[in-house]
Structure 1
């Protein structure tokens, strides 16, 4: 499976530099998605996955793993900790780093990641660049949700406005395989050169729709003429040139994807759109896609709900495979599992399909099976293999449900960047609001 990390220049892998970037908090995380049939991919053997261990980890219990002793992040300053509007009383009781403390760490990287990575990617005509741009949109949206400070929403909007402003008619893209009237972008990655690639677009756009839903659900933003105008324009673009485009081109090929993680991106997008649209017909279409991916895929005998079974190594955890209908170990790889979890946490919080009981089992999956002790990370959800410990894009969002897990994340040394810090801050904000299960 194509599972390489990458730098800004398409087509090149620099394992040593990227491994270093992960340790010191590089802007971008692993980039593990695999194009489906029709999205040609060349396997990069220069950075293969670490060999998995032959045995499963010993079964655990419902008791959470002890706090990690990994390299600690700097403690927040006394000034940063004193922010009554963010519920410091509850945070003091739990002993967690405050939202303000996480924001301080976020700001230490905010502008360097902006100028060195996310801004140029947002201005690119290459859809492959939008893949990593997703992390910048997510991190800024999360920090806005945690703090209410519009500078973070403004930056997320800047990235999305830049992408939309550079979209071209499919008919004008020289090597497009569609040549129709929808707007989009061509990939400059070597194995998909010139093509329109649904994976690259959907991977990024799940965080665009989440950002838009924040505007819709925040009266101070939705009632502001400047934000409302951007919201209306970007939602209209998304409905037509993201969802309708790939749905009309072939829902079975481009929305009901060949594995769990790629399908989850579309469940995420459809869910968000169903909560924003004012058109009853569109809403029904979005909910159909959402329900199909969760419960009844038209292209397969399984579904997301059907994939999750009780783990054989820990009865309080979940096991699942990326392959529809499969229950074979080792199951879903952790890198791709992040994408699934990014969707599931938001669906749970929206009260759609995924329950408290599900989230409790996912917390145990991460905290006991995938991450059983400090510096020990599984490569698969059954606890086998040697993984990187990169949880930024989904798994770390489970910290919003469990104080002990959030405390472990405070000392987690992998992936320290604005996406990590933004979502850690949001975890604390939600825990302070009573999200613990």
Structure 2
């Protein structure tokens, strides 16, 4: 088993100056990582080689913070978000680090004035309660695991804003959502249409194509952000040393270890952990990584690291891995290209909508010093900044720079802004997907840039 590789972090401190205006507009949601009813198996997954996804039923209630859209076929343009009205905010500055990468400056990035954490928090708070009451709170109380898919964005946004500000009101809200889900979990054997009928706790899907089933995708898509929230508590002495938070942490970690990781591993690792494409597998690498950093059980830790390393380097049921998928971009030598299907090197490669899920994991693994390096992140920055997003309001559907996409970067790609001030500056005027997940992660980018995370 490969051991996780630690890196030495370095960066330049970034100080405060004046920021520019932000265009604020309606949210534009992601292409959901759901499955095509025509190709999905009874576990709710795509069949091997398929990256098609279907829109949810028209009767499904979708979060206004991130309305779902169906994935378009190659060459079929997707709608772009409506431009918003400008809004000024508090001043901030960043002196960006040197870079020789294409599109990031010839010898050094120019000094860039960036929006402050406080400025992003103001935008976040403008939507915080409305998204809570209209979407995230009811979804957290739902018995339908499909609702947890969208709920994941609320958990991520609140966790990110806590990490950016240290204000416990955001952690409390993320915990509320997770506690609600856990409190509504039922024993599998009591779920009338469960395909497992075992002693683990879980939820049934109410989506029409997976009606009554336990769906690993819906659970893992949400739970990667549950484990990131838990790891934030574990790594923050003020939280972990507080009895109120420690009690919740212990309960939720125990639930996660048994009724998320162990459950799907025992039900069949090759089917439910080592998934049929890059983005689905990346969720389990994320969960396994976080659990490996929290558990006090040596046997469990070894098991988590085995899954983490297998997905990164040596998938047991495929001929490739996340690392094995990466190639030099066919259109930019400083960027990465990869396909969603294991072993494939064919263009157009990974669709950007689902590529967000891969990037959400890779960014956190890099920052934990596990497997993914500074050099990797520099190439991913160029992939977004130059290939996927080559000009203002020009968005590509695939990572090879082809097709017309939506520009929805919230769930992963925008997190690359923590490594590059110029990219973060572009995100300040990005009019797609403006919701609490976007604002929370933009605030975290600003906080980390200020701490020297730029590469």
The aligned counterpart of 1:335 is 353
Corresponding residue of 1:32? 33
Residue 250 of structure 1 corresponds to: 268
CA distance in 2, matches of 1:426, 1:72: 23
User: Distance between the aligned counterparts of 2:181 and 2:55, measured in 1?
Assistant: 28
Aligned position for 2:378:
360
- Structure 1 gaps of 5+ residues are 1-22, 55-69, 82-87
Deviation of the 1:352 alpha carbon: 0.2
2:293 is the counterpart of 1:289: no
Query: Is structure 2 residue 396 aligned with structure 1 residue 378?
Result: yes
Q: TM-score, normalised by structure 1?
A: 0.86
Residues 228-243 of structure 1 mapped to structure 2, 5 A cutoff: 228-243=246-261
Paired with 2:178 and 2:389, the residues of 1 have a C-alpha distance of: 34
Offset of 1:50 from its aligned partner? Answer: 4.3
Q: CA deviation at 1:94?
A: 3.5
Cα distance in 1 between the residues matched to 2:73 and 2:212: 34
- Runs of 4+ in structure 1 displaced over 6 angstroms? none
Aligned residues: 391
CA RMSD of aligned residues (A): 2.0
Aligned partners of 1:413 and 1:128: how far apart in 2?
27
Determine the C-alpha separation between the residues in 1 that align with 2:394 and 2:384.
12
Q: CA deviation at 1:26?
A: 3.5
Aligned pairs for 1:7-406 within 5 A: 24-26=25-27, 29-34=30-35, 37-40=41-44, 43-44=54-55, 49-50=71-72, 52-53=74-75, 73-77=86-90, 81=91, 94-406=112-424
Per-residue CA deviations over 1:260-304 (Å, capped at 9, x if unaligned) read 000000000000000000000000000000000000000001000
Measure how far apart 1:32 and its partner are.
3.3
More helix by share: 1
* Residues 29 and 408, structure 2, Cα contact 8 Å, conserved in 1: no
Report the CA distance between 1:25 and its aligned residue.
3.1
The aligned residue for residue 407 of structure 1 is 425
Residue 43 of structure 1 deviates from its aligned partner by 4.3
Question: Can you give the 5+ residue segments of structure 2 that lack an aligned partner in the other structure?
Answer: 1-23, 46-52, 59-68, 77-82, 97-110
Distance 1:312 1:91, change over 3 A: closer
> Take 1:344 and 1:40, find their aligned partners in 2: how far apart are those partners?
24
Question: Normalization by structure 2: what TM-score?
Answer: 0.83
**Distance in 2 (alpha carbons) for counterparts of 1:409 and 1:293:** 30
1:309 and 1:319 in contact (8 A); partners too? yes
Task: Please tell me whether the aligned partners of residues 28 and 135 of structure 1 are also in contact (alpha carbons under 8 angstroms).
Answer: no
Quick check: 1:127–1:201 contact (8 Å CA) kept in 2?
A: yes
CA contact (8 A) 1:51 1:386 kept: no
**Deviations 1:356-394, CA, capped at 9 Å, x for gaps:** 000000000000000000111000000000000000000
